[in-house]
Structure formats: structure tokens, C-alpha cells
Structure 1
Amino acid sequence: MAKQQKTSAELEDMVHQKLLIGGVYVSVREDPLLGWRATVITAPKHAKAIQERAATAAAELRKKFTLKT
């Protein structure tokens, strides 16, 4: 089954919904190795933990969706 193409805005929203945290900005960019990567911007105190959660969410979503360029 082919993966669905999604825009960066759609993927950002999907990752953000999986995080279930307010006050976090998610950015999705093309990645040559993975296809696309999610990066979070938040308070420095929580950045590492939230980035790890975003990476996990992105890995799950990459199984179903590719970044539309």
C-alpha cells in the first residue's frame, strides 16, 4: 500500500496532536535519510523530553505518510 502524501503543515499538526502538550511549536522539514523530520521549539527545560516524544510520533507517522514537496 502506498503512503499518503501530506504537506508539512498537515504533518506538523499530526505530530502536535500526538504530543498532547500546549506551548510547543512543531516544525516538519525534509530529511534526506528519513524522508521528513519533526523538530520542536519549546521551553529549554522541557525541550529534550518533548523532542524525543516528537521523534517517536514522527517515526509512527512516517509509516503511513510522506512529505509532499
Structure 2
Amino acid sequence: MIPMQAAQSSIDADALIAEVQAADFLRISIRTLQAWRCRGAGPAFVRVGRAIRYRRRDLLAWIEANTVTSAR
């Protein structure tokens, strides 16, 4: 089995992934991702013609920005 860090380092963080893959990566529905995009919320995305794509780097940055470390 490949260690997680080794597996992640072999993935191109700037590669564009489809909306379905981005939703799966975030463990949310595609409809939620679409709703966030329409409201101007959620991770940054790239429009390629009519297609929507996401960079893994942007998904990871969005996760970090929305991580809550303590509940007050």
C-alpha cells in the first residue's frame, strides 16, 4: 500500500477535474456544489467553454479556509 503523502505528491494539484469528481472529493452532492457556485460561495472554479472544472489545489485551499478549529 502507498503511504498517503506519497500518493498525494504524485497527483497534479493544478490538474482540472470535473464537477462530479470535485463533489466526490468534497463528499457532497453535485447539486450542493452547483448551488454554492450560483450563490458565489464554495471553492474557486474554472469555466472551460460550457464545462465547469475545479483544481485540486483550490478544493484543498477552500477546505483549509473553512476548517473550524474550535466551537465557542
Scaled by the length of structure 1, the TM-score of the pair is 0.29
Which of the pair has more CA radius of gyration? Answer: 2
Larger RCO of the pair (alpha carbons < 8 Å, separation 6+): 1
Structure in which a larger fraction of residues adopt strand: 1
Structure in which a larger fraction of residues adopt helix: 2
